[in-house]
Amino acid sequence: MTVIAVRLRIPEDVEMKHPLVRLFLFLSAVFVSAALLSAPAYAQCPVPAPAPPAPVCEEGGLVFGGAAAFTWALPAPLCGPVVNDALAGNLAVAWATKSVGASFIGCLAGEDDAAGPPAAADIAVPPIGGGFWYLARASTPGPDFTWNEAAPGQAIDRDALLAGVCP
């Protein structure tokens, strides 16, 4: 479209009819058009996974008590006696992918079907500019519960992306 517009605006005078001038204008229009069409308007986010279903028996709020240790609350009593899972992932990878699947590192030590108190710690030091993310959930000898949150706003389905980890 830009090429056509430029060509139509060429006046009917001698200078503009010079082949070199017309070639210069034509090439300029081509380069400008290519630049406009190829430059992204802004950084594009990865396409998110489907939104999660309503969770069942999710854990309570995860809070840190220091630079390495954190705790969380057990699910509602009607969910029955539970054990705990807690896992970690690479924060820089999660930030870049806007997801948790590819950034998963592993279950935290002692937190794969752990029967103890809902608490975990990680003293690993990430590189400067990097970090770790953490999630916790309730589990049972039978089914596991959820890594998901209770209300809209979570952009991905963590359960689908973390299926099979910390079983």
- Residue 119's nearest CA partner among 165, 62, 76, 56 is 62
Q: CA–CA separation, 30 vs 160, rounded Å?
A: 46
Nearer to another protein by Cβ, of 25 and 149: the residue is 149
Q: How many residues does the chain have?
A: 167
User: Amino acid letter at 67?
Assistant: A
Minimum CB distance to another protein, residue 166 (Å)? 13
Nearer to another protein by Cβ, of 18 and 98: the residue is 98
Q: Which two tokens stand for residue 102?
A: 């590819």
Minimum CB distance to another protein, residue 68 (Å)? 7
* Strand partners of residue 144: 139
Minimum CB distance to another protein, residue 142 (Å)? 16
Q: Which residues bind another protein (CB under 8 A)?
A: 41-46, 48, 54-68, 70, 73, 75-79, 91-92, 94-95, 98-100, 122, 125-137, 146-156, 158
Nearer to another protein by Cβ, of 5 and 69: the residue is 69
Q: Which helix (H) or strand (E) holds 152?
A: none
